[in-house]
Amino acid sequence: MVRRALPSREELLEILDAVKDPEVPVLSVVELGIVRDAVAADDGVVVTITPTYSGCPAMHEIESEIRRALAADALGPVEIRTTYAPAWTTDWITDAARKKLEAYGIAPPGPADSSELIPLRRRATTVRCPYCQSHDTQQRSVFGSTACKSIWFCNECRQPFEEFKAI
Amino acid sequence: MTDSSSLQYLLRLGDDRLVLGHRLSEWCGHGPILEEDIALANIALDLIGEAALLLKLAGQLEGKGRDEDAIAYFRDATDYRNALIVELPIGDFAFTIMRQLLFGTFSLAQMDALQRSTNADLAGIASKAVKEARYHVRHSTQWVVTLGDGSDESHDRAQRALDELWRYTGELFLPDAIDQEAAASGFGVDPSTLADLWRAQVEPVLQAGKLTIPPVAYMQRGGRDGRHTEHLGHMLAEMQIVARSHPGAAW
């Protein structure tokens, strides 16, 4: 029997780059930082993932998509481990992925806020409209169609749009 | 710290969030405006997600093969360890929002401290939950100021909610032997050490909303020992009926 060389971490991540987030299908689970590690051994593959939000309902589907993607390469049984520390942050989303988000119509996240006390009034942050690039926008709600997005409105092109919220 | 104390400690953390998450989910389809309907359902999802992680960890520490669903759906009210404040019925929007401020700020301080737990799993769950608690508090803060400093009607409702809820806040910070054992071992945190930070966050919000903290002679308590209001049993009956009618069902 000819032994095949085990794939490297980079090669595994390349395979997993085909797995898209079901709620943001323009980004892969690797680009989002959900996949933290991938190791192949003789007895199978171990993929370590971290959830974006504690109650993210997409995690089950992401797990089964990861299994499906790896099954095609016949690498043996796939074990998926979930880790919570360090906690997922939008700061892990790469610049290239941010550009894809904006092109898809979702404003990319700003820097994550970690202040201890919550200010009485919201900071005056501006988010650029992904459709017309205007900064004349206002937040309508921190909570959007999924846990990871907030709802904004552009005063310039009169379009509601979503922002990938920074956490 | 003994396994049974850490189990009890985790049940308190998990039950607070499960019960409040379920209460908030009752708003789904009934919110005053669409954005708030979505907001409350989102917060409910975060809290139930946090509860699932905490109760799963509790089941692992217990080592009797109970998962988070078994713990959530097959315990009766007397075995629940949540504080009384989270089980009260949702009331009007002002009541729900005021409770979110009072409990959410406590939760933020608690999860912030638990990031330093000697239990790596609990520390990890807390480091995630603290980020969620931060935008939950931002949401309730904004609403309490808006309602309190709004019309006569909205101010009166916010003040009435505060008058009713304040007597349930004492229990959150009342340590008992389990809390003290958890704090001594580094597993958990003594809730009384969170009270100053909580007041520093809550009081300016109430002031900005022109609301007055009521004089309260007696603080309600009992939830941490399983002595609950009559409301919890009704809520659990609804929450548990499907799982108990079809045990082991999966979908």
Does A110 score more than 90 pLDDT?
A: no
What mean pLDDT do residues A3-29 have? Answer: 90
**Is the domain of A111 the same as that of A146?**
yes
Task: Name the residue with higher pLDDT: B202 or A148.
Answer: B202
The answer to whether the Cβ–Cβ distance between B138 and A142 falls below 8 Å is yes
DSSP chain A: -PPPPPPPHHHHHHHHTT-EETTEEEEETTTTT-EEEEEEETTEEEEEE--SSTT-TTHHHHHHHHHHHHHTTT---EEEEE--SSPP-GGGS-HHHHHHHHHHTEEPP-PPP--SSPPSS--------TTT--S-EEEEES--SSTTEEEEEETTT--EEEEE---
The rounded distance, in Å, linking the Cα atoms of B240 and B72 is 8
Mean of the per-residue pLDDT values of chain B: 96
Query: Touching check for B121 and chain A: CB below 8 Å?
Result: yes
Query: Touching check for B146 and chain A: CB below 8 Å?
Result: no
The answer to whether the Cβ–Cβ distance between B134 and A117 falls below 8 Å is no
Q: What is the pLDDT of residue B244?
A: 96
Write the residue in A54, A122, A151 that is nearest to B142 by C-beta. Answer: A122
- Would A62 be classed as within a structural domain? yes
The answer to whether the Cβ–Cβ distance between A84 and B121 falls below 8 Å is yes
The answer to whether the Cβ–Cβ distance between A117 and B200 falls below 8 Å is yes
- Would A96 be classed as within a structural domain? no
Structure tokens at B195: 């009270």
Q: Which residues of A touch B (CB under 8 A)?
A: 51, 53-57, 83-89, 112-113, 116-118, 120-122, 140-145, 147, 151, 165, 167
Which of the residue ranges A47-61, B71-85, B108-122, B172-186 would you say has the lowest mean pLDDT?
A: A47-61
Residue B223 CB-half CA count within 13 A: 30
- Would A94 be classed as within a structural domain? no
- Would A93 be classed as within a structural domain? no
pLDDT in tens, B17-56: 999 999 999 999 999 999 999 999 999 999 999 999 999 9
Task: Name the residue with higher pLDDT: A123 or B64.
Answer: B64
Number of inter-chain CB pairs under 8 A, A vs B: 92
Q: What is the pLDDT of residue B233?
A: 98
What mean pLDDT do residues A69-90 have? Answer: 90
Structure tokens at B225: 């020992």
Q: What is the pLDDT of residue A48?
A: 96
Task: Name the residue with higher pLDDT: B195 or A146.
Answer: B195
pLDDT in tens, B50-100: 999 999 999 999 999 999 999 999 999 999 999 999 999 999 999 999 999
Does B122 score more than 70 pLDDT?
A: yes
Contact A49, A62 (CB under 8 A): yes
Write the residue in A51, A143, A167 that is nearest to B38 by C-beta. Answer: A143
Give residue B2's pLDDT band: very low, low, confident or very high (50, 70, 90). confident
- Would A28 be classed as within a structural domain? yes
CA B100 to chain centre: 8
The answer to whether the Cβ–Cβ distance between B132 and A54 falls below 8 Å is yes
- Would A99 be classed as within a structural domain? no
Give residue A121's pLDDT band: very low, low, confident or very high (50, 70, 90). low
Q: What is the pLDDT of residue B31?
A: 93
Block residue for tokens 């309490």: B144
Q: What is the pLDDT of residue A123?
A: 62
**Is the domain of A29 the same as that of A67?**
yes
Alpha helix (H) ranges present in chain B? 3-25, 34-62, 68-73, 93-114, 120-148, 152-165, 177-185, 195-208, 230-245
Chain A residue numbers touching B45 (CB-CB < 8 A): 53, 55, 57, 147
Q: What is the pLDDT of residue A2?
A: 54
Task: Name the residue with higher pLDDT: B216 or B42.
Answer: B42
A143, A151, A162: best mutation site toward chain B, by most B Cβ within 10 Å?
A: A143
Q: What is the pLDDT of residue A57?
A: 83
**Is the domain of A13 the same as that of A84?**
yes
The candidate with the shortest Cα–Cα distance to A127, out of A151, A96, A100, A94, is A151
Query: Touching check for B16 and chain A: CB below 8 Å?
Result: no
Give the total number of structural domains in chain A. Answer: 2
Q: Which of A55, A88, A121 is the last residue of a domain?
A: A88
Q: What is the pLDDT of residue B15?
A: 98
The rounded distance, in Å, linking the Cα atoms of A4 and A13 is 18
The answer to whether the Cβ–Cβ distance between B39 and A143 falls below 8 Å is yes
Chain B residue numbers touching A89 (CB-CB < 8 A): 131
The answer to whether the Cβ–Cβ distance between B138 and A122 falls below 8 Å is yes
DSSP B45-103: HHHHHHHHHHHHHHHHHHTSS--HHHHHHS--GGG----GGGTS---SHHHHHHHHHHH
The rounded distance, in Å, linking the Cα atoms of B229 and B128 is 31
What mean pLDDT do residues A42-51 have? Answer: 93
pLDDT in tens, B181-206: 999 999 999 999 999 999 999 999 99
Domain range for A35 is 9-88
The answer to whether the Cβ–Cβ distance between B47 and A118 falls below 8 Å is no
The candidate with the shortest Cα–Cα distance to B82, out of B197, B229, B190, B183, is B229
| Beta strand pairing call for A149-154 and A160-164 | antiparallel
pLDDT in tens, B148-168: 999 999 999 999 999 999 999
Does B242 score more than 70 pLDDT?
A: yes
3-state secondary structure of B33: coil
Cα B97-B98-B102 angle, rounded to 5 deg? 120
- Distance in Å from the first CA to the final CA of chain A: 50
Q: What number does CATH give the domain B3-245?
A: 1.20.1260.10
Structure tokens at B54: 């905490």
Q: What is the pLDDT of residue B248?
A: 83
Query: Touching check for B201 and chain A: CB below 8 Å?
Result: yes
Q: What is the pLDDT of residue A122?
A: 61
Q: What is the pLDDT of residue B161?
A: 98
The rounded distance, in Å, linking the Cα atoms of B203 and A63 is 44
DSSP B24: H
**Is the domain of A14 the same as that of A81?**
yes
The answer to whether the Cβ–Cβ distance between B124 and A83 falls below 8 Å is yes
What mean pLDDT do residues A88-115 have? Answer: 90
What is the residue extent of each domain of chain B? 3-245
Query: Whole-model pTM?
Result: 0.92
The candidate with the shortest Cα–Cα distance to B90, out of B137, B44, B35, B34, is B44
Query: Touching check for B250 and chain A: CB below 8 Å?
Result: no
The answer to whether the Cβ–Cβ distance between B42 and A147 falls below 8 Å is yes
Backbone φ, ψ for residue B45 (5° rounding): -65, -45
